[in-house]
Structure 1
Amino acid sequence: MQFAIQHTWDSSPVDHDPIRIIFSPGEGGLKMQVMAPFFDDPGAPAGPPGQPFPGLWDYEVVESFFLDSTTENYLEVEICPNNCPWFLTPPSRGDRWTGEALLPWTYFPPNVNKMNSYAIHGSERGARTRLSTPFPKEEIAEGQKPNFHRLEYFQNFRLQSIMGEGWIQPESDLWKGKH
């Protein structure tokens, strides 16, 4: 299943190639492949390569959210072209970057039925570019800032459309008791 991010959060078309995300079956999880222009703005996070890094959204990043809309529990995955701990294959770079990551089933909330993906780049204050499935222009208030946690704009999504109709999502101890 492939998604293309080709708009800014406020519905304007991007002025570069879209960011592409492909989801496919992986060994013990969902494989996520990212293909995107490489802006190198801002540069790499200061943390050690291969280690989790808080605040990755302040750098060049592609994010996907997987939501159980009945509980509003979601998994947020952030992948960047630099120092990303989840890559199965290191990102290749040039004018574009690609990377592949495996998202273990234990990380997903039960009953995922919606998702959305975003991308962010740029470092100048106020000049960060935020790309996403567009929010309807008529619903954007003057002075409104992007908010990628607006669950009402998430798209319908079924993991079975990738894994097969008979596939059953494995239970995860990480989500037991969370409502």
Structure 2
Amino acid sequence: MLHAKLFFNCLTCKFLFLFFLAEGPVLLVLKWHLGSLMETSFLICLMQNIKMEFTIEHTWDDLPVSHKPVTIGLKSYDGGLLMVVNAPFFNDPPAPLGEPGKPFRNLWDYEVVEAFFLNDRTEQYLEVELCPHGQHLLLLLSGKRRVWKEELPLEFEVTRMETKWEGKAHLPWNYFPPCTNKFNAFAIHGSGDQRKYEALHPVPRCELQEGQKPDFHRLEFFKELNLKRLMGEDWKQPESDIWESHAN
């Protein structure tokens, strides 16, 4: 389904149509006059308000979740992406013992929402783990499960209520592997045999094997992430000195 919003900038005499497709937002600009500094600022402001939104509606093995689903939004923000999580708050397991706002090892053993940003050719990826109690964990991996850098600093804010929480994380481009083009996201909560593992792009039922366990590093099930839909068709992903140092 196609939705459109129409904007008119009276200062530069042009219409802007913002189309929302199933795959993400697309910006079409019809110009009456060529650009100016004000026009450029206007477009930058508009692009910063475009976002991608993903909803985690299935368990890792492709069954429907039994609660209001977790959503993850991505938008352009100050030299990187702003990742916004809206999720139910289960408070199970209890909060990690680490200080809120700081990295916490093995955060995946707690209540978390995770996002993975992948270059599927090199199998280099960024793993982002966010906890409703304020802790976080960022890992850089080169090859499946092969962590080479972890506990990266992160600007992360949490607003927590009785039954839901919102987290905002500022992810600098420096953390993203070159040519990021695939994505998956996950949510975990619960304890013991009530532990729940949920996935944006789950393992299809036809691919399941007897006795199979949840595995968030099944890179073959990640799906396309076209960041130009957020940043504009002329955008090129900034180089990362962190990843460049690893290559050398």
Q: Is the 8 A contact 1:87 1:99 kept in 2?
A: no
- Structure 1 unaligned blocks of 5 or more: none
Q: Extract unaligned runs of 5+ from structure 2.
A: 1-51, 137-153
Aligned match of 1:44: 95
Q: Deviation of residue 87 (structure 1)?
A: 4.8
Please name the residue that 2:27 is paired with. none
State the partner residue of 2:196. Answer: 129
Note the alpha carbon deviations across 1:15-41, whole angstroms, 9 max, x for none.
101100000011111000000010000
Give the secondary-structure state (helix, strand or coil) at the position aligned to 1:138: helix
User: 1:168 offset after TM fit, Å?
Assistant: 1.1
Match of 1:74 in 2: 125
SS of the residue aligned with 2:58? coil
Q: How does 1:21-170 map to 2 (within 5 A)?
A: 21-85=72-136, 86-124=154-192, 126-132=193-199, 133-170=201-238
- Report if the CA contact (8 A) 1:63-1:76 is conserved: yes
For the residues of structure 2 that align with 1:92 and 1:163, how far apart are their CA atoms?
30
Tell me, yes or no, if structure 1 residue 3 matches structure 2 residue 47.
no
Aligned residue number for residue 19 of structure 1: 70
Deviation track 1:110-167 (CA, whole Å, cap 9, x = no partner) reads 000100000000112x331000022111110010001100000001112111111111
Q: Secondary structure at the match of 1:57?
A: helix
Matched, 1:178 2:247: yes
The structure richer in strand per residue is 2
CA distance in 2, matches of 1:166, 1:94: 43
Larger Cα-atom Rg: 2
**Aligned equivalents of 2:223, 2:104: Cα separation in 1:** 27
Following superposition, which runs of at least 4 residues in structure 1 exceed 3 angstroms of deviation?
A: 85-89
CA offset at residue 75 of structure 1? 0.2
Q: Distance in 1 between matches of 2:68 and 2:158?
A: 22
Tell me if structure 2 keeps the 8 A contact 1:7–1:131.
yes
Give the 3-state SS of the residue equivalent to 2:96 in structure 1: coil
Larger helix proportion of the pair: 2
SS at match of 2:237: coil
Offset at residue 98 of structure 1 (A): 0.7
Contact 2:203 2:221 in 1 (8 A): yes
- Measured after TM superposition, the shift of residue 88 of structure 1 is 4.3
Residues 82-125 of structure 1 deviation map (CA, whole Å, 9 limit, x = unaligned): 1235454332222111111100110000000100000000112x
TM-score normalised to structure 2 length: 0.69
Check conservation: 2:134, 2:156, Cα contact below 8 A.
no
Q: Determine if contact 1:5/1:118 at 8 Å carries over to the other structure.
A: yes
